Chain A
Amino acid sequence: MLLIYLVIAPILVGVLLYFFHFKKATRILAILAQIGIFIGSIFLFIEARELTELYPIGRAFGMEGVTYNIGGFYYGMGIILVSDVLSAVFIMLTAFMFLLAIFYSFNENNTSLYWFLLFLWQGVLMGVFLSGDFFNIFVLLEVGTLVVTILILFSRKNRSLYDGLIYFMVNVVSMQFYLLGVGYIYRYTGTLNIYYANAQFANTGREYLMLPYALIMTFIVLKSALVPLYSWLPKAHGTKGAPSAVSALLSGLHIKSSVYLFLRFQYTFEIVALTEFFMVLGIITAIFGFVMALGQKDLKLILAYHTISQIGLIFTGLNMGITYSYMGALYHMMNHALFKSTLFLSGGIIAYAYGTRNVYEIRGVLKKMPVVGVATMLAVFGITGTPIFNGSISKYFISSETYGLMNWILIFMSLGTIVSFIKFSTILFGEPKKEIGEKKVDILQQIPIIVLGSLCFLGGIFGRQFIDILFNVQLTIDPAGYFEKSLIFFASLVVGYLLFKYYVKDSKLIKTAGAMELGFRSIIMAIGLFFATILLFVGFS
């Protein structure tokens, strides 16, 4: 029963908030309701963790975990909500992130529409993480796209309109690919259940599965913004009009839903699933992402492009076929949610206080706003993988069993992250250039940033224990190996600083790469080309 409440409760709370005029009392009720949802998600997690465990890798448990059959139809026919330990972790993350987002926007946004959409969005994400049904996922993601579009356009500023239109239309086109793929699945197996379809595929010929797999993976790749279908992401995540809390949730959480679906669908299509292909795609995406991020000077856009790079790293880790890398990538997804949302939230406060989002104009954040500055610094330490911070643990696990070329590629990716965050962290130091007005930083906005920032630190010290608690998998950290990675980090820090100082700062090439932007038609063309490529790879593998 808990499962259905987790989906419906946020939506009901949202509707209530919309209809009752929004005063402080109702806002406090909203926070209480959100705390209730969070506690519910913890209960679900405890139950799911006992029933399932996440080993061996790549196996989806689903039906062994907590299930709820809506309507009571028999197995494989009705809509079903399922939760194993993997989805329970994401449910917990969703509830936690939305709690912080609500704290952050407590005094910022008073419109009832905003709060309604925020809670509706949460319900949709919960549904995506819990659903075990192909068509249900389609409906939920369609609603999710709509909600996100309205939130992006929320303040109707500058470019937001064009960005919103592109985001919406591109996503709608990709949804049609997905629906067509699901149609093939239903036709060949007679079921829409993700786990049941996997069993049915054994009787279906391999050649029948290629087309649906290619269609569905095109959709997944677009949703998780891998190269070449990344182009809508910076528009959506970095747009000027969106409230900071929305950007933080988009980059921290929303994008994870498609990576989660990737894991599920890879299991469903075991017979035809490609792994090396997605690993290479992840590497290309990671490198592409930070090169583009280096070319930006807008605070929010740097972070948005960097999300692409991090998703690339996560895809690389997930598809290497090594247990340690897989767990490292899963842990990195959690970590990325923490530090990227810290950066977006504190970036919002900084941009508001300074009245600009140009990183070259903002100086001396540490001096002006010590709390925000320290939280930002913790998050930067996390994302660059500084030893004893959370990013270092997940990056250590991803690269701990790789050798030769792969190891060098991972070091290169890490170097790219370091260079772009050296650029980002210049805002922290120095003297404030111009006198900024006395804009008081809301104390309620500082709470989530402090919580997230300190979690970045705790996630590093207790990294192994966190993985044990969350995923029920015991990993060991080899002190010598970890020390070696730390040395590599400091070496790349030096190299990164030199690179930043003498090459990146005024490189024409990087500036042109950063300014590169695809229009609507080019994005659609990229979808078509990518679909053809993946079909070829599935056909010949």
Chain B
Amino acid sequence: MPANIIEISAILMFIISFYGLISTKNIIKSIIFIVLMEVSVVMFWLSFGFSLGQLPPILSSIGGMEYIDVVGIENIADPFPQALMITAIIIGLSITAVNTIMFITLYRKYNTIDWDVAKERSLTE
């Protein structure tokens, strides 16, 4: 199964965001990198559901003929990854929301955006 350009860039993005999570001390940036990671996974999923020139599987028949017979089964995009990724995107959205809320509360309490400082202050409390 040959890899396409979208897939490669998705994997690259995953690795970059992973590196970002390791390298940054900033909690906000960590949250952003997590979002980036989610986006890259979504991109990866979409890369094998669709290739250029494929048609969406929406109609069931055209002019009294079966849709599949008219366009051919190899020309129809796989709807499954897209359906799943809508769920994943919504989950990602709520995760970002929760992360941000928790971070704001943490910031009000410890007055820092630095992981190490937050750890120290939470230990000494």
Interface residues of A (CB under 8 A from B): 135, 138-139, 142, 146, 149, 153, 158-159, 161-165, 168-169, 172-173, 176, 179-180, 183, 186-188, 208, 517, 519-521, 524-525, 528
The residues in B between 28 and 73 inclusive whose CB is less than 8 angstroms from any CB of A are: 30-31, 34, 37-38, 41, 44-45, 48
Asked whether B94 is an interface residue with its Cβ less than 8 Å from the other chain, the reply is: yes
Q: Which of A159, A169, A524 contacts B122, CB < 8 Å?
A: A159
Residues of B within 8 A of A180 (CB): 14, 41, 44
**Chain B 67-108 per-residue mask, 1 if CB under 8 angstroms from chain A, else 0:** 000000000000011001001100100110011001101100
**Closest B residue by C-beta to A191:** B80
Residues of B within 8 A of A187 (CB): 1, 48
- Does A519 contact B119, Cβ atoms closer than 8 Å? yes
Shortest CB distance A79–B (Å): 11
**Could you list 8 examples of A-B contacts with CB < 8 Å?**
A162-B119, A168-B99, A168-B102, A176-B34, A180-B41, A183-B45, A186-B45, A208-B1
- Does A169 contact B106, Cβ atoms closer than 8 Å? no
**Chain B 106-125 per-residue mask, 1 if CB under 8 angstroms from chain A, else 0:** 10011000011011001101
* Contact A519 B116, CB 8 Å, known A139-B87, A183-B45: yes
- Does B37 contact A173, Cβ atoms closer than 8 Å? yes
**Closest A residue by C-beta to B119:** A519
- Does A521 contact B95, Cβ atoms closer than 8 Å? no
- For the complex, give the distance between the alpha carbons of A169 and B34 in Å: 8
- For the complex, give the distance between the alpha carbons of A427 and B99 in Å: 39
Q: Which of B18, B24, B30, B102 contacts A161, CB < 8 Å?
A: B102
- For the complex, give the distance between the alpha carbons of A528 and B18 in Å: 8
- Does B115 contact A186, Cβ atoms closer than 8 Å? no
* Contact A528 B22, CB 8 Å, known A135-B84, A169-B34, A520-B115: yes
Asked whether B21 is an interface residue with its Cβ less than 8 Å from the other chain, the reply is: yes
Per DSSP, chain B at the interface is: helix
- For the complex, give the distance between the alpha carbons of A153 and B105 in Å: 11
**A162-B106, A519-B119 provided; 5 other pairs, C-beta below 8 A?**
A139-B91, A149-B102, A162-B118, A165-B102, A521-B23
Residues of A within 8 A of B34 (CB): 169, 172-173, 176
Shortest CB distance A78–B (Å): 11
- Does A521 contact B106, Cβ atoms closer than 8 Å? no
Q: Which of B25, B41, B105 contacts A176, CB < 8 Å?
A: B41
- For the complex, give the distance between the alpha carbons of A137 and B8 in Å: 26
- Does B41 contact A146, Cβ atoms closer than 8 Å? no
**Closest B residue by C-beta to A204:** B1
- Does B102 contact A164, Cβ atoms closer than 8 Å? yes
The winner among A138, A158, A186 for most chain B CB atoms within 10 A is A186
**Closest A residue by C-beta to B20:** A524
Residues of A within 8 A of B44 (CB): 180, 183
The winner among A146, A163, A173 for most chain B CB atoms within 10 A is A173
- Does B91 contact A161, Cβ atoms closer than 8 Å? no
Shortest CB distance A231–B (Å): 12
- For the complex, give the distance between the alpha carbons of A153 and B102 in Å: 10
The 4 closest A-B pairs by CB, nearest first: A162-B122, A524-B21, A187-B48, A176-B37
- For the complex, give the distance between the alpha carbons of A457 and B27 in Å: 48
Residues of A within 8 A of B91 (CB): 139, 142
- Does B21 contact A521, Cβ atoms closer than 8 Å? yes
- Does B118 contact A186, Cβ atoms closer than 8 Å? no
Residues of B within 8 A of A524 (CB): 18, 21-22
- For the complex, give the distance between the alpha carbons of A179 and B122 in Å: 32
- Does B1 contact A188, Cβ atoms closer than 8 Å? yes
Residues of A within 8 A of B22 (CB): 521, 524-525, 528
**Chain B 1-20 per-residue mask, 1 if CB under 8 angstroms from chain A, else 0:** 10000000000001000100
- Does B115 contact A179, Cβ atoms closer than 8 Å? no
* Contact A168 B37, CB 8 Å, known A161-B122, A521-B115: no
- For the complex, give the distance between the alpha carbons of A165 and B31 in Å: 11
- Does A179 contact B14, Cβ atoms closer than 8 Å? no
The winner among B80, B98, B123 for most chain A CB atoms within 10 A is B98
Residues of B within 8 A of A521 (CB): 21-25, 115
Shortest CB distance B54–A (Å): 16
- For the complex, give the distance between the alpha carbons of A135 and B118 in Å: 35
- Does B21 contact A165, Cβ atoms closer than 8 Å? no
- For the complex, give the distance between the alpha carbons of A378 and B42 in Å: 50
- For the complex, give the distance between the alpha carbons of A280 and B91 in Å: 35
* Contact A169 B1, CB 8 Å, known A176-B37, A528-B22: no
- For the complex, give the distance between the alpha carbons of A162 and B110 in Å: 10
* Contact A520 B125, CB 8 Å, known A179-B41, A180-B41: no
- Does A520 contact B30, Cβ atoms closer than 8 Å? yes
Residues of B within 8 A of A139 (CB): 87, 91
- Does B18 contact A159, Cβ atoms closer than 8 Å? no
- For the complex, give the distance between the alpha carbons of A230 and B53 in Å: 47
Q: Which of A161, A186, A525, A528 contacts B81, CB < 8 Å?
A: A186
- For the complex, give the distance between the alpha carbons of A524 and B24 in Å: 11
Shortest CB distance B23–A (Å): 8
Residues of A within 8 A of B94 (CB): 146
* Contact A173 B125, CB 8 Å, known A164-B102, A186-B80, A186-B81: no
Residues of B within 8 A of A149 (CB): 98, 102
Shortest CB distance B13–A (Å): 11
- Does A161 contact B115, Cβ atoms closer than 8 Å? no
Shortest CB distance B24–A (Å): 8
**Closest B residue by C-beta to A531:** B18
